A = this chain, B = another copy of it.
Amino acid sequence: MQTLTLAALAEALGATLRGPGDTVITGLGTLKAATGEQLAFLANPRYRSQLAETTAGAVLCTAADAEHAPGAVLVVDDPYQAFARASHWFDRAPRPAAGIHPRAVVSELAQVHPSASIGANAVIEDGVTIGADVVIMPGCFIGAGSSLAEGVRLWPNVTIYHGVKIGPGTIIHAGSVVGADGFGFAFSAGQWHKVAQVGGVSIGAGVEIGANVTIDRGAIDDTLIGDGVILDDQVHLGHNVVVGDHTAMAGKVGVSGSTRIGRHCLLGGAVGVAGHLDIADGVTVLGMTLVSRSLTERGVYGSALPADRQDRWQRNAARFRHLDELYRRVRTLEKGRRDGD
């Protein structure tokens, strides 16, 4: 665990320190619960009321908020961004040592950089390439011919099929599966006939993929994930989906096959996107929305109705079944009025 003085933190973050430079910070805390040895931050206005009472050793905040802090502050323009940087200095996530665990199973036909860490029970097949500083944790499987560029980290029990390329610095959390067969079947004579999925998956640099995500391999060409994409847990991307750079998807988003999502899009939790669509750059989709047509213009989109009391929701839902009829009745009334009826 790292310890840093406030003076050192201020210098590293380019922050203006108001308070004693020799205070030692040993970790992170919330405004509400931080101790005198912890660093807190204020970015979301929702928590501004907690500032006056905080017992944090120091608070990262803007100049405007700094006025109201009871103790030391590190003044910055973008407190959350500064906190993002500082957070890594106090992260206690263990860093596995370099080398191949004696209980890993690594093909003689794989190339593993000596600085990489291969955990117990990891299985690495023929023709795999593992770059410098890669961390593969226990129970992961890397299929034949796949490549992991430098600095990739796979948490435990991740499955990478054959023919998958992962760019530098990409992180994949536990239980995720990259490169399983796309859902491709021809229906004939009353049965489904599997179409072999011969494409692969190509993932860019600096991508973060949550836990239990599924990204299917392409039917013919590769499924493509751009640089800097962030995917929360349980996202599903079908075969030949294309995701543009720096797009973010919250938990449980599903995107069907062959859909192209632009750059800098934001998809809220459990959004569903149908197949063969085009979503423009900069599109934001609110949680639980169904996207069943292409969205060709930047903007914010929604479709899910919000929770209501059961009695009212049931009455309204029952009326919804007759909405078209209601519309016609209103038209009749309007016509009658126009006719002087």
- A301 near B307: Cβ-Cβ < 8 Å: yes
In the complex, per-residue mask of A271-287: 1 if CB is within 8 Å of any chain B CB, else 0: 01010100000000111
Q: Which of A296-341 contact B (CB under 8 A)?
A: 299-310, 312-324, 326-327, 329-330, 333-334, 336-337, 341
Task: Tell whether, in the assembled complex, residue A173 and residue B177 are in contact, meaning their CB atoms are under 8 Å apart.
Answer: yes
CB atoms of A214 and B186 under 8 A apart = no
* Contact A138–B120 (Cβ < 8 Å): no
Q: Which of A27, A139, A322 has the most CB of B within 10 A?
A: A139
CB pair B214 A162 closer than 8 Å: no
Cβ 8 A contact of A195, one of B29, B87, B252? B87
A256 contacts B250, CB within 8 Å?
yes
Among A39-63, those with CB < 8 Å from B are 46
Most buried by B among A87, A171, A190: A87
B123 touches A141 (CB 8 A): no
CB of A208, distance to nearest CB on chain B (Å): 6
Q: Evaluate whether A305 and B303 lie within 8 angstroms (CB atoms) in the complex, with A144-B94, A175-B175 already known.
A: yes
When distances are taken between beta carbons in the complex, the residues of chain B under 8 Å from A330 are 326, 329-330, 333
- Which are the 5 A-B pairs with shortest beta-carbon distances? A87-B196, A159-B174, A91-B196, A300-B310, A84-B186
